[in-house]
Structure 1
């Protein structure tokens, strides 16, 4: 009997140097194929999105990392679906939602790379950025939501067996580096070399409008698998209109990982496979079901096993 499972794709980690994907590119045919497809679609050399060569002048660190992780995550998902059959649902966080849409057939690869290229990492006026903070008590959350200059951008929910909640906070750099340091947690702000944009806040309205205009010209199909989203007001997506809302509203609205997990639970999955960096380190509870990870540690484990056999 097939065990019902969900695929959950992680966000872009701008500090990710793609070492795991470089190793998979050499050994994993489906990952290698996806890197070739994404590189051609984006008009870049494979070595650029593998981070073997320096960033291009017209591409930010976030865009290159996003393209590389998209390629790697799709290749890994291809392998899982080939082995296990169709997932009960798919979902993701930020970039992970783009990957989930690709796997579900809601976006073509060309459309996915176009959205990443539209997501420029440049502020229009004052410097923007994001930071991460763990809040030990729920009452401390409100401090980090002080619009317009500082907002909760992604709520990851409780991590490390409930010791606290992880928040991604976004807004103006001067606010996060100034007032943001007065909260109950330690807000770690990303430096300009890694981030220059207040993701998932109204500061991204211009990007949302460009994505909306782009998608108007796309013939979006119904996805082949249900999409669980981090947007509570949208919920599970099964149609083209929902796909468009995911892509547009996700630019300016807060993402809620607990909301996505609640949607996933409605499908009765017994197994969750998380693809991409960052998620393992959080020790998140995906509804009390079996959870495995396809990330840097997984790459180390499988390649070490192969070496031992040889």
Structure 2
């Protein structure tokens, strides 16, 4: 991800917002925006962290973030969806979790720990993820219903994608004051309001990629 961002940018001034700590991300950047010594030349985000990065860059407002998250998390299907996380040891085939009708890898972090394995989030039908806990090649930790009830970054989120697309058509996103790097394949650098809107919509149903 950083390699794609080089293009003359000083990476020492790069700030990356993570995927699973959005609440803390927003606290951090609110403090950062109030600090005159926190100047950055590039922001980046993964999943929900992309919202934090876009907000920090001035492309979107906090009010828009609230509206976006409200639309994203509406209960819109009868089926039960879920997410899970697994560390797949190198000898095992992590592609087992690519079963488009049932579950998909929602973010590919690539090999970790010196190639010892692959850390992957998986999104899909809750029944499929529960079965994969015993049938799959790794110990898949399925997140409880109270914490996650949707299959983020997967084709199953098409209803949410349509809602978010409608919201963004009614909204005007500003040009980021500072470029934003996303984890969305084909849209790694966002430098306009239109690009930011496109990235947010596409992210709903496509997996993220972090090389």
The answer as to 2:13 corresponding to 1:12 is no
Query: Under a length normalisation based on structure 1, what TM-score does the superposition of the two structures give?
Result: 0.60
Of 154, 158, 162, which aligns to 1:201? 154
Could you tell me how far 1:239 is from its partner in structure 2? 1.3
The answer as to 2:183 corresponding to 1:230 is yes
Could you tell me how far 1:175 is from its partner in structure 2? 0.5
The answer to whether the 8 Å contact 1:123/1:197 transfers is no
The answer to whether the 8 Å contact 1:73/1:99 transfers is no
SS of the residue aligned with 1:220? coil
The answer to whether the 8 Å contact 1:119/1:207 transfers is yes
SS of the residue aligned with 1:249? helix
The answer to whether the 8 Å contact 1:12/1:69 transfers is no
Corresponding residue number in structure 2 for 1:82:
36
SS of the residue aligned with 2:190? coil
Corresponding residue number in structure 2 for 1:71:
26
Of 54, 78, 93, which aligns to 1:140? 93
Greater Cα shift, 248-257 or 4-13 = 4-13
Where does 1:22-101 land on structure 2 (aligned, <5 Å)? 66=22, 68-78=23-33, 82-85=36-39, 87-101=40-54
Corresponding residue number in structure 2 for 1:283:
none
Corresponding residue number in structure 1 for 2:6:
none
Separation (CA, whole Å) in 1 of partners of 2:189 and 2:108: 18
Of 43, 61, 67, which aligns to 1:108? 61
Residues 191 and 123 (structure 1), Cα distance of their counterparts in 2 relative to 1, 3 Å cut: farther
The answer to whether the 8 Å contact 1:121/1:195 transfers is no
Query: Under a length normalisation based on structure 2, what TM-score does the superposition of the two structures give?
Result: 0.87
Corresponding residue number in structure 2 for 1:156:
109
Could you tell me how far 1:4 is from its partner in structure 2? 3.4
Q: Rg: which structure is higher?
A: 1
The answer to whether the 8 Å contact 2:133/2:141 transfers is no
SS of the residue aligned with 1:99? helix
Corresponding residue number in structure 1 for 2:144:
191
Residues 238 and 193 (structure 1), Cα distance of their counterparts in 2 relative to 1, 3 Å cut: same
Separation (CA, whole Å) in 2 of partners of 1:178 and 1:99: 34
SS of the residue aligned with 2:146? coil
User: Which structure carries more helix by proportion?
Assistant: 1
Residues 252 and 137 (structure 1), Cα distance of their counterparts in 2 relative to 1, 3 Å cut: same
The answer to whether the 8 Å contact 1:159/1:165 transfers is yes
Of 70, 91, 98, which aligns to 1:117? 70
Corresponding residue number in structure 1 for 2:207:
254
Separation (CA, whole Å) in 2 of partners of 1:191 and 1:108: 30
Could you tell me how far 1:10 is from its partner in structure 2? 1.2
The answer to whether the 8 Å contact 1:212/1:248 transfers is yes
Separation (CA, whole Å) in 2 of partners of 1:100 and 1:3: 15
Of 239, 242, 246, which aligns to 2:192? 239
Separation (CA, whole Å) in 1 of partners of 2:52 and 2:182: 12
Separation (CA, whole Å) in 1 of partners of 2:101 and 2:62: 34
The answer to whether the 8 Å contact 2:76/2:159 transfers is no
